[in-house]
Amino acid sequence: MISSIKETNSIKIKKSFIWLSLLLVACTPNVSLDNSDTLELTPIVKVVTSGGFAAAYNNLIPQIETELGIVLQTEYGASSGGAIDSIPMRLENGENFDVIILSRGSLDNLTEAGFVTSETRIDLVHSMIGMAVRAGATVPDISDVETFIQVLMDAQSIGYSASASGTYLSTTLFPDMGLWEVLEPKSNRIQSERVASVVARGDVEIGFQQISEILPIPGIIFAGAIPSELQRITTFSAGVLKSASNPEDALRLLEYLSSEAVAPAISESGLSPVVLENTNL
């Protein structure tokens, strides 16, 4: 009898504890232990950018995400060149992005091919071609055409990009200067990698690419821009893809990247923001 009463009281105590626990849960604010719910609610913008704008873009990512209240998911690839990870090939193979950033010529080609909404295209920066040598090497003088030619002739090996700058050097500048017959056998077209990285390893003696792609690479010295008479200015531009899943925030991103607010930070990467050039007109 006493044992039965004790068991009954024990059951009542357990039930009271359960009800109290449920009451506490019901009255507790709905606080998540992690930020996954918040991340799910934050708009995502998928971006693919070529190397010419990559350094400036990467430095701006935290600022962009804070200012615009978005999460950036980023991939990288060349503006052209045919490599499997180049931007045109990524699109051909069905990869989906909201925004692409690459050379203006390639952007226009992709627009004609039906990938880009034409009215969203905007020019962001202008970029020059520079030369890199390995850290510790003697930095050659390339300040004028005569000394530049001599450096090319003396070099044991030359690297150039598979994108806009390298295409110009190998198909236009060097042939027009009558040098390609001599330079081609010792020249290497670099795909899916920064030319300066190849220089840093010692695989080529000198390398040419957009200045903004040379400056961030450790283990090299920036020798300077090629002479102004031989220079080819490349415009890097952006556009929203027709297949974009978040076109509204993609447009906000383009407006931000082309604004005066981020121009000083972009200039530090060796690029010339178009918005500042227009302001100085």
Q: What is the pLDDT of residue 279?
A: 63
Q: What is the mean pLDDT of each run of 10 residues along the chain (281 residues)?
A: 43 43 40 48 96 95 98 95 92 97 96 98 97 97 97 98 93 98 97 95 97 96 97 96 98 98 95 85 51
- The radius of gyration of the chain's CA atoms, rounded to the nearest angstrom, is 28
Number of Cα atoms under 13 Å in the Cβ half of residue 203 = 14
Bridge partners (DSSP) of residue 272 are: 126
Structural element, H or E, at residue 104:
helix 104-112
* Residues 241 and 221 reside in one and the same domain: no
- Give strand ranges (E) for 64-148: 71-76, 99-103, 122-127, 129-134
* Residues 221 and 241 reside in one and the same domain: no
Q: What is the pLDDT of residue 10?
A: 47
| Residues near 59 by beta carbon (within 8 Å), at least 6 away in sequence | 265, 268, 269
- Give strand ranges (E) for the chain: 44-49, 71-76, 99-103, 122-127, 129-134, 158-161, 187-190, 206-210, 220-225, 234-240, 272-273
Q: What is the pLDDT of residue 6?
A: 41
Q: What is the pLDDT of residue 81?
A: 80
Last residue of some domain: 181, 200, 225?
A: 225
Rounded CA separation 97/104 (Å): 18
* Residues 253 and 273 reside in one and the same domain: yes
Q: What is the pLDDT of residue 74?
A: 98
Q: Is residue 110 part of a domain?
A: yes
* Residues 238 and 221 reside in one and the same domain: no
* Residues 99 and 165 reside in one and the same domain: no
| Residues near 190 by beta carbon (within 8 Å), at least 6 away in sequence | 159, 160, 161, 162, 166, 198, 207
**Residue numbers of the domain that contains 50:** 42-127+234-279
Q: What is the pLDDT of residues 90-145, one digit of tens each?
A: 999 999 999 999 999 999 999 999 999 999 999 999 999 999 999 999 999 999 99
Tell how strand 71-76 and strand 206-210 pair up: unpaired
- Domains in the chain: how many in total? 2
Q: Is residue 31 part of a domain?
A: no
Nearest CA among 196, 212, 194, 221 for reference residue 267: 212
Specify the amino acid at residue 265: A
Q: What is the pLDDT of residue 192?
A: 87
